[in-house]
Amino acid sequence: MNGATRAILIGLLVGGIVSGYMGYRFTVGAVADQKIDLGNRQATMQVMALAELTGAVLESESGVLQDLVVEWDRRHDDVSNIRVLRIGGARLLASTIPADIERGLNKRVPREDKPFFDTAKALQSGHTTNVREGGFRKDEVVYEVQENGHVRVTAPYVIEDKIKGAVRMDVEPRLDTQSVSPVNALILVVLPLFAFGFVSLILRREDRWIPLSMALAVMIGALYMFNKNSMFSYQGARAGYEGQLAVYYGKVRTDASALAQVHTPAYTLAETNAWDTDEFRRPLNLFAVDGIVDQTAVTKALEISSVLLQNGLWFASGLGIALLGFIGSGWAGRGWRTLVVYREAYSYITPAFIGMLVLVFFPFGYGIILSFTGQTLYNTDKALWDIWVGLENYARILGDVGIMQTTETGTQVNFANFYWTAFITVMWTVCNVTIGVTVGLILALALNVKGFQLKGIYRAILILPWALPTYVTALIWKGLFHKQYGTINYMITLFGGEPIAWFDGVFTAFITGIAVNGWLSFPFMMVICLGGLQSISADMYEAAKLDGASRFQQFRYITLPSLKPTLIPAIIISVIWTFNLFNVIYLVSAGEPGGANEILVTKAYKIAFQEYQYGYAAAYSTVIFFILCAYGFFQNKMSKATEDINR
């Protein structure tokens, strides 16, 4: 067996184990969720039925609620700990718990029942919110799994169309799901190994790529079968459960109508299945009131609920194939050998690497994942894959090409558009860096003159703008630009000009930002240039002078080329800083007028923290990252080219 074959066999083994294990875990998890779902639906039917009767009894005042509750408890051996709470006055109206009865009903509940009260209250206000907003956002039935596996379910009861309190009970799940066998996963690991081992015996070749592609084909085939099988073990028995639930519903309904006749004779149950609902009390309609299962509806519901597992299996398969490719192609082996050979070096960077991992790569990766979801303030409690929207955010950002918009006041630029903001950001960066470099270089040249008196004092003064906190500088500048009382307008009027409303025009407001940031950024460039200038040997100038070079020629052919190695990294850094410079825009013009002077980062901040659209803001930030990334590559290429000329 040669090295390539061995690598491929290891790849098959590792890939098979990883995707087999993950696929198995996903399937088990999905089946467990299905089990929870079944338990919840059983509990929902119970609690919704009793809540309906409770409302009827309390509304008609025809019977004693406590009798109804006790009788309900007696008839259903899977139900225990029933309690009915009225929100007004926090009164416990009925209970089957001995301690409650001992304390006496119709009394304010004790402190330890605050969570129950809060839940009831949340159901009440949740329903109101759903109605007001015209949507379904807040739960109207809550489930809590107890230590003994019983489901504690709480649902509101309604009197005269208003939620007045809640019914709570513990329900023991009676329907069970089939367990998932790990044999499938084992076959997935073993089968490709043998298949490939057998084939490689026949196929004795030194070439790596043909066996690898064969191994990939075998692996893909095995994964396909494995995934089919896993999906089947999830979906297969579902139709059966639906029938069992329908039978269970029939029993609850029979009991309910019997009890209704005793306790509220005037009340008749509606001829619809209104008890098998989702968490918003919306009927699922998977089976009718007479227990006949609607097969099309069940199939559809099953398809929707399978999507998550399907995606999970795809992901596991992809990972397995990638691992096989990585190991089988020999890259993994090479990587491992480097790691072993340079183990000392790697152990030195480990602490820094772990720091980077936690502080940089994890938030970064999380941000990227977030950008594919529709997370907003209202759904932060949901799992990310439940609010997955794929590329929708990116499509919304990049696909919005309506830069011009027509309104009743005429056609104008839509300042909220991404491309406008990107344009402003680029203009902002280019202007600022140009100004910073030019001013910085000129000042550095001035300070570098030999025999210049009081050089140290000038240098200290010129660095001051940099030393002051950005906040202070930005706010002072904002004051300087005030229309009526600002110093700048005062100077303009001194020379006979008209005062300018700086923050009203797109261009003038842009100028304010440039002025402030120009002021803030030149000291950095000046210091960098000064350092570069001082490292240029005076001999070169002397030689140039002897050759008859003019001052400009000296600057053009000695100073500039010698400054390049110091200046270019500084420019790269400065571009990235300026591109993402939040403070100045935020504090000085705040993106006014009408968001026209917003740059990409301030816009992303606004989306995240004023509009609470976290997913969209994450996508926005990712786009900014890619723009800077592209710039970085481009700049790297450029600067390398210049370095080559220098050599």
Partner 1 sequence: MKTWIRIALTALAVLSLAVPAIGQDKQLVIWHSYRGQEKEALLKVVDNFNAKVKSDGYSVKPLAVPYDAYADKVTAAIPRGKGPDVFIFAQDRLGGWIEAGNTVEPLDFFLEDDMSDKFVEGTMDAMTYQDTVYGLPFNFKSILMIYNKKLVQTPPKTTGELVAMAKKMTNVAAGEYGWAYSYSDFFFHASVMNAFGGRVFDPGPKPVLNLPQNVKALETLMKWFKTDKVLPEEPSTALITALFNQNKAAIIFNGPWFLGEIDKSIDYGLANLPTVDEAGGEPMRPWMTIEGIYIAAPSKHKDEAFELVKHLISLETAKTMAITGRQTPANLAVYEEPEIKKDPIIQALREQAKLGVPMPNYPEMTMVWSPATTAMNLIVKETATPAQAMERAQKEVQASVDRLRGNRK
Site membership for partner 1, residue 487 (CB under 8 A):
no
Q: Kindly state the number of chain residues that form the binding site for partner 1, as judged by CB under 8 A.
A: 53
Q: For residue 166, give the nearest of 57, 86, 48 by alpha carbon.
A: 86
Would you give the distance in Å from CA 465 to the centre of its chain? 39
Applying CB under 8 A, among 611, 633, 636, 642 the residue interacting with partner 1 is 611
Is residue 593 within the footprint of partner 1 (CB under 8 A)?
yes
- Which of the ranges 17-25, 94-102, 120-128, 423-431 carries the binding residues for partner 1, by CB under 8 A? 120-128
Q: Which is nearer to partner 1, 333 or 615 (CB)?
A: 615
Tokens of 24: 């198995």
Enumerate long-range contacts of 27-31, CB under 8 Å, 24 or more apart.
27/180, 27/230, 27/233, 27/234, 27/309, 27/313, 28/180, 30/234, 30/308, 30/309, 30/312, 31/177, 31/178, 31/179, 31/180, 31/233, 31/234
Residue 117 as a binder of partner 1 (CB under 8 A): the answer is: yes
Helices (H), 203-294: 209-235, 238-263
91 binds partner 1 (CB under 8 A): no
> What are the helix and strand counts (H, E) for the chain?
23, 7
Cα 599 to chain centroid distance, Å, stands at 22
Q: How far is the CB of 513 from partner 1 (least distance, A)?
A: 17
Q: Is 545 in the site for partner 1 (CB under 8 A)?
A: no
Min. distance of Cβ 604 from partner 1 in angstroms? 14
233 binds partner 1 (CB under 8 A): no
Closest to partner 1 by CB, 75 or 121: 121
Which part of the chain contacts partner 1 (CB under 8 A), choosing from 205-213, 303-311, 369-377, 439-447? 369-377
Could you say which of 81, 129, 310, 566 contacts partner 1 (CB under 8 A)? 129
Q: Is 132 among the residues that bind partner 1 (CB under 8 A)? A: yes
Burial letters 575-584, b for 16+ CB under 10 A, else e? bebbbbbebb
Bridge partners for 79 per DSSP: 171
136 contributes a contact to partner 1 by CB under 8 A: yes
89 lies in the binding site for partner 1 (CB under 8 A):
yes
Neighbour tally for 637: CB within 10 Å: 9
- Does residue 160 belong to the site contacting partner 1 (CB under 8 A)? no
- Using CB under 8 A as the binding rule, the residues of this chain from 397 to 456 that contact partner 1 are 407-409, 416
- In whole angstroms, what is the distance from residue 22 CA to residue 28 CA? 10
Residue 142 within binding range of partner 1, rule CB under 8 A: no
| CB of residue 88 to partner 1, shortest distance in Å | 8
The secondary structure of 36-84, three-state, reads HHHHHHHHHHHHHHHHHHHHHHHHHCCCCHHHHHHHHHHHCCCEEEEEE
Stretch binding partner 1 (CB under 8 A), from 19-27, 114-122, 244-252, 262-270: 114-122
Contact between 228 and partner 1 per CB under 8 A:
no
Reference 30, options 314, 305, 244, 227; nearest CA is 305
Contacting positions for partner 1 (CB under 8 A): 89-90, 111, 114, 117-118, 121-122, 124-126, 128-129, 132-137, 280, 374-381, 387, 389, 407-409, 416, 479, 482-485, 501, 504, 592-595, 606, 609-613, 615-616
